[in-house]
């Protein structure tokens, strides 16, 4: 009890100090951290200036497909850096999202959802889809296991594939149980019962702490972020202070377009199209101009992608522009070019 009380006092003291030292305390997507011009310029070399009191924490977010890992990370960093959709396998490779608070850098490692061999073939996934998870766990300071409490079938069971990874972690790596989608549970007793079961010997009794969050509504996000800031280690940052992602702007654009089509297209259609960036430039007014091609295997699928009178692709383009404007903190103008079959001379371009 005394140890728990001391840890609580230390957390409160640390949060108090950050409140009066940080430029931004409450993060909202509508007011993201600044993203300066030179971030887009690959020729720009940042000055090698680091703070003597720098702190860093690398957090690997682990879980089954579609439990809300990417959405959770987006809430924690305060902008939709990680592409997210309602369909499985939106995240195809490991990426890192970066959050800065005064002298502390949090690096969230977004990993693909754990998949079966049959899913690898079904969704034509690259071999790195599996190896990326192992790499993320090998370089992290702490692991967050995301559990979808809204899934009535799997809510009270930590998947065997997750358990294998947890058992093989390096000694001393703390693990957190993150119960996501708590907005779907109306009775607190249900959540408490889930905690008892998930932390029992038949699941994983070694969790250091437990958090109940809703990545959709942002409930519990501030507490989790504060805990991670308190857990940061005294060492140099992995990235320059203005960096927001390990991915390039071009890659973020492609992934965002793909994610929006995954929500817009029915059934398996999103998995048979290919998204390919064809143009990217930063204009004099700091806005971004980009053209993305959507490659389809047939005219029939091209027409489905376009929608009646081009309405579907137009809606996707608008949604992508809005989201990317939040990511990059500037106006984004996007053109989507739906590539028809080889019989067509020109693609259909929708702004």
Q: Confidence class of residue 151 from pLDDT cuts 50, 70 and 90?
A: very high
Residue 253, CA atoms < 13 Å, CB-side half-sphere? 26
Q: Confidence class of residue 32 from pLDDT cuts 50, 70 and 90?
A: very low
User: Which of 108, 107, 116, 109 is CA-nearest to residue 89?
Assistant: 116
Question: Which residue matches tokens 């029939």?
Answer: 300
How many Å is the maximal CA-CA distance in the chain? 75
Per-residue pLDDT tens for 128-143? Answer: 666 788 889 999 999 9
Q: Confidence class of residue 127 from pLDDT cuts 50, 70 and 90?
A: low
| pLDDT value for 275 | 96
Is the CB of residue 104 less than 8 Å from the CB of residue 232?
A: yes
Residue 233, beta-bridge partner list: 56
What is the radius of gyration, based on Cα positions, of the chain? 21
Share of the chain above pLDDT 90, in %: 69
Helix, coil or strand: residue 61? strand
Q: Confidence class of residue 48 from pLDDT cuts 50, 70 and 90?
A: very low
Per-residue pLDDT tens for 63-92? Answer: 998 899 999 999 999 999 999 998 877 777
DSSP, residue by residue, 167-193: HTSPTT--EEEEEE-GGG---HHHHHH
pTM of the model: 0.82
In this prediction, residues 17-40 reach a mean pLDDT of 42
Per-residue pLDDT tens for 272-297? Answer: 999 999 999 999 999 999 999 999 99
Question: Which residue matches tokens 């754990």?
Answer: 114
* pLDDT at residue 227 greater than cutoff 90: yes
Question: Between 7 and 336, where is the model more confident?
Answer: 336
* 248 backbone dihedrals φ, ψ, rounded to 5°: -75, 160
* pLDDT at residue 265 greater than cutoff 90: yes
User: Which of 104, 73, 99 is CA-nearest to residue 178?
Assistant: 73
* 167 backbone dihedrals φ, ψ, rounded to 5°: -70, -25
- Mean pLDDT across the chain: 85
Per-residue burial over 276-306, b = 16 or more CB atoms within 10 Å of its CB, e = otherwise: ebeebebeeeeebebbbbbbbeeeebbeebb
Q: Confidence class of residue 208 from pLDDT cuts 50, 70 and 90?
A: very high
Share of the chain above pLDDT 70, in %: 77
Residue 275, beta-bridge partner list: 294
| pLDDT value for 123 | 59
* pLDDT at residue 11 greater than cutoff 90: no
Q: Confidence class of residue 162 from pLDDT cuts 50, 70 and 90?
A: very high
Question: Between 11 and 200, where is the model more confident?
Answer: 200
* pLDDT at residue 19 greater than cutoff 50: no
Question: Which residue matches tokens 């720098």?
Answer: 54
Report the range of poorest mean pLDDT among 1-10, 133-142, 150-159, 242-251: 1-10
C-alpha 258, offset from chain centre: 14
* pLDDT at residue 338 greater than cutoff 90: yes
Question: Which residue matches tokens 């320059």?
Answer: 240
Is the CB of residue 166 less than 8 Å from the CB of residue 207?
A: no
Q: State the Cα–Cα distance between residues 55 and 135, nearest whole angstrom.
A: 22
| pLDDT value for 71 | 95
Q: Confidence class of residue 22 from pLDDT cuts 50, 70 and 90?
A: very low
Sign of torsion over alpha carbons 127, 129, 130, 136: positive
């Amino acid at each position: 009890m005394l140890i728990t009380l001391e840890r609580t006092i230390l957390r409160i003291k640390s949060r108090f100090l950050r409140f009066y030292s940080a430029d931004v305390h409450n993060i909202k997507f509508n007011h993201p951290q600044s993203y300066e011009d030179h971030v887009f310029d690959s020729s720009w070399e940042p000055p090698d200036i680091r703070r003597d009191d720098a702190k860093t924490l690398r957090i690997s977010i682990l879980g089954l497909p579609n439990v809300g890992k990417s959405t959770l990370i987006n809430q924690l960093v305060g902008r939709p850096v990680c592409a997210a959709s309602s369909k499985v396998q939106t995240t195809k490779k490991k990426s890192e999202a970066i959050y800065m608070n005064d002298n502390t850098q949090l690096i969230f490692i977004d990993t693909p959802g754990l998949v079966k061999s049959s899913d690898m073939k079904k969704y034509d996934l690259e071999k790195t889809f599996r190896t990326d998870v192992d790499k993320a766990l090998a370089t992290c300071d702490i692991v967050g296991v995301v559990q979808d409490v809204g899934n009535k079938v799997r809510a009270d069971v930590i998947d065997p594939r997750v358990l294998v990874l947890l058992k093989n972690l390096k000694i001393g790596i703390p693990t957190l149980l993150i119960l996501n989608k708590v907005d779907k549970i109306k009775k607190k007793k249900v959540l408490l019962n889930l905690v008892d079961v998930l932390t029992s010997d038949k699941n994983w009794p070694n969790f250091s702490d437990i958090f109940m969050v809703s990545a959709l509504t942002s409930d519990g996000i501030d507490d989790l972020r504060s805990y991670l800031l308190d857990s940061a280690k005294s060492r140099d940052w992995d990235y320059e202070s203005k960096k927001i992602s390990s991915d390039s702007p071009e890659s973020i654009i492609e992934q965002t377009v793909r994610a929006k089509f995954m929500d817009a297209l029915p059934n398996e259609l999103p998995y048979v199209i290919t998204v390919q960036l064809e143009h990217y430039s930063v204009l004099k007014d700091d806005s971004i101009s980009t053209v993305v091609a959507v490659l389809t295997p047939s005219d029939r699928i091209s027409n489905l992608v376009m929608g009646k009178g081009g309405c579907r692709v137009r809606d996707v383009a608008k949604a992508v522009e809005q989201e990317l404007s939040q990511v990059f903190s500037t106006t984004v103008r996007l053109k989507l070019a739906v590539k028809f079959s080889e019989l067509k001379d020109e693609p259909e371009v929708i702004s």
